[in-house]
Amino acid sequence: MQHGPSSWFYSLWSDRCSADCAEGRCSRSVVCMMSQTNSLPLDNCDDEDKPDELMPCDLGPCTQRLEWYTGPWGQCSSECGNGTQSRGVVCVVQNNVTSDDRCSHLPRPPSAQTCFLKSCGAQWYMTEWSSCSRSCDGGFRVREVRCLQDDLTTSHDCDPALELAKQEKCNTHTCMPQIDESCRDMYYNCVVVVQARLCVYSYYRTTCCASCSRVIQRDTLHRIR
């Protein structure tokens, strides 16, 4: 089977340069095709004579080119299961960092993404602590603890030795007496009244109200304990 003469055919150069500034390349398509007429001086396609497919182009110096620069991704926030990792993203002009607002017209690369290192398997999950049962003198608070698989279904494979506490003490500080602004010592020598154990009389409980009240509350706490 004989082939007719062929030659290189090429398209027009592209109007688009591969770089927005400084030196880049523009391109065209070059193909070897058979001739449909014998009136052309065709010598068949020879790779050494193949026309260029790329041509230099230069849109001028990159004096005010703005672009986003990204740093490397950081470590994953979780050793297992789904986590996140982040990287720095800055707006740069002439190798200098500038305000992000100047690059706002450009698509901003993501600064965070999800990451997954390995499956966690069964692990303990907990709720927030409840409010304390007492405001002072020792109370307790509770929370719910569950063992869950990766798909958040209930499991019995968690290590019992690592189970989180479901109850703990709270507000163990001593209750402080309420301050009554109308309950004051009217005399400077109320300490003598207390030492003489005169607070049992209503007159002294009134004239030395603050001092007598502290003694009465102290004695009440001692009896409770």
- Per-residue pLDDT of 92-105, as tens digits, reads 987 788 899 989 99
- The DSSP call for residue 188 is T
For residue 163, the model assigns a pLDDT of 92
Residue of 169, 168, 180, 175 lying closest to 135 (CA atoms): 175
118, HSE (Cβ side, Cα atoms, 13 Å):
4
How many domains does the chain contain in total? 4
Please give the pLDDT value at position 170.
Answer: 92
Q: Examine the domain organization and report whether 157 and 200 are in the same domain.
A: no
Q: Are residues 196 and 220 in the same domain?
A: yes
According to the model, what pLDDT value does residue 47 have?
83
- Are 25 and 15 spatial neighbours (Cβ–Cβ below 8 Å)? no
The model carries a pTM of 0.43
Q: Confidence class of residue 2 from pLDDT cuts 50, 70 and 90?
A: very low
Structural domain span for residue 198 = 190-224
Considering the domain boundaries, does residue 90 fall inside one?
Answer: yes
Q: Say which residues have a Cβ less than 8 Å from residue 157's Cβ, sequence separation at least 6.
A: 121, 122, 147, 149
Does residue 177 surpass a pLDDT of 80? no
What are the angstrom distances between the C-alpha of 55 and each of 8, 30, 181? 17, 13, 93
Q: How many CA atoms lie within 13 A of 11 on its CB side?
A: 10
- Same-domain pairing of 11 and 43: yes
| Model confidence at 41: pLDDT above 60 | no
Q: What percent of the chain has pLDDT over 90?
A: 40
pLDDT at residue number 5: 72
